Amino acid sequence: MDLKIKLEQLHQKVVGLKELISTEEATKNAFVMPFIQILGYDIFNPTEVVPEHVCDIGTKKGEKVDYVIKNNDEPIFIIECKHWKENVDAHNSQLHRYYHVSKTRFGVLTNGIVYNFYTDLEKPNIMDEKPFFTINIEDLKDSSIKILESFTKKDYNLESILDSAEALKYIKAIRKEFEKEIENPSDELVKLLVNRFFEKPLTANRMISFKEYAKKALTTSINESISFRLKSALSINEQIEKQDDDIKTSPSIDENNDSKIVTTEEELEGFQIVKAILREKIPSVRIAYRDTLSYFGILLDDNNRKPLCRLHFNTANKYLETFHNGKDAGEKVLLNNLDEIYNYREQLHQTLENYS
């Protein structure tokens, strides 16, 4: 089974059981051991998973790390566990001691939900103060799952992990500092940016102003970037939905609806009038029509989700349906003749603006 699916199943288990877990031992049994199994290690095989492994530290004898994980009889990482309610970031000193006397390159500190992975990038055989990688069972990200694959029994590769560990550690640190700067720009960052375009001296009062400007500029830039990405994603979704709508609204061969739909000259003339009105705002190629059994629809970008108006010419009285109050709030008006469509120029233009 895919690693992501297994982790999501574990997440559901954590959500359902954690309020019933009252001890550290229960946390290990309910959450940590299944996690080790997900990585592909046999928790019942002492050549792969060694619980309560003794780590004598100087004069301290009999101290035990919760788990040692082995591969080909070589210890590859140790795991120290805490109760799920505890903050794992506040308990790395104990793992630090165990790491120092172990033969592994990686130490894991966990509360069964958050897993912090450490190594010795700063000094050999001395565990770093900060983890190079963290995965949160309650906030699974595809990028984190991809990194975790390197620790599975099947894909474990020491060199590969060490090659990426430094990058992961410092990218995480840089991102954290960047987030601090967005929230409260430092004098150093403000000077770096402002000195590129502002030639006057940066007095204390100006610094206060420019720090506020910098915060707004950074926040606006990020928000606009997010908005652009969301619009791009929504555009893709709309294209997919349009294709789905086309499939749903397209008459089947069995129903033989094609033979029942008759596009009249009046409908085409009405379309040309609407097209002439809207060409004041957009290119004519963006204005399309689809004739149905009940109405003649005029659409923006040939998208069923963007109706510009509808012509109801299949009855004794003729109606124009406009959508200036929203695509789900169509309003019908009686037409005595086709030229009266020109009287609704503002409504048609407003409908167009609603989609911009």
Q: Is the pLDDT of residue 258 over 70?
A: no
pLDDT at 240: 62
Distance CA 43, CA 65 (A): 15
| Helical pair 158-183 and 204-249, crossing angle rounded to 10 deg | 120
Percent of the residues in the chain that have a pLDDT greater than 70, as a whole number: 89
pLDDT tier, 254 (very low <50, low <70, confident <90, very high otherwise): very low
Higher-pLDDT residue of 241 and 38 is 38
pLDDT tier, 245 (very low <50, low <70, confident <90, very high otherwise): low
Taking phi over 0 as left and psi of -120 to 50 as alpha, with beta for the rest, 242 belongs to alpha
Q: Map tokens 């060409």 to a residue.
A: 279
Higher-pLDDT residue of 118 and 255 is 118
Higher-pLDDT residue of 46 and 60 is 46
pLDDT at 125: 82
Q: How does pLDDT run across 166-212, given as a tens digit for each residue? A: 788 888 888 888 888 888 899 899 888 888 888 888 888 888 888 88
- pTM of this prediction exceeds 0.75: no
Percent of the residues in the chain that have a pLDDT greater than 90, as a whole number: 42
Among 23-27, 126-130, 185-189, 240-244, the minimum mean pLDDT is found in 240-244
- Residue 310 CB burial class (10 angstroms; 0-12, 13-18, ≥19): buried
- Report residue 338 as tokens: 């086709």
Segment 252-258 shows an average pLDDT of 49
**CA proximity to 60, closest of 97, 110, 107:** 97
pLDDT at 241: 59
Q: Is the pLDDT of residue 144 over 50?
A: yes
- 307 and 289 Cβ atoms separated by less than 8 Å: no
Distance CA 213, CA 112 (A): 43
- Taken as a whole, the chain contains a residue count of 356
Among 86-95, 214-223, 233-242, the minimum mean pLDDT is found in 233-242
Give CA 239 to chain center in angstroms: 20
Which regions of the chain does DSSP assign to beta strands (E)?
Answer: 49-54, 64-71, 74-81, 106-110, 114-118, 133-136, 287-291, 296-300, 307-312, 318-322, 331-335
Segment 268-276 shows an average pLDDT of 93
Distance CA 30, CA 18 (A): 9
pLDDT at 314: 86
Which regions of 86-180 does DSSP assign to beta strands (E)?
Answer: 106-110, 114-118, 133-136
Among 171-180, 222-231, 236-245, 250-259, the minimum mean pLDDT is found in 250-259
pLDDT at 109: 94
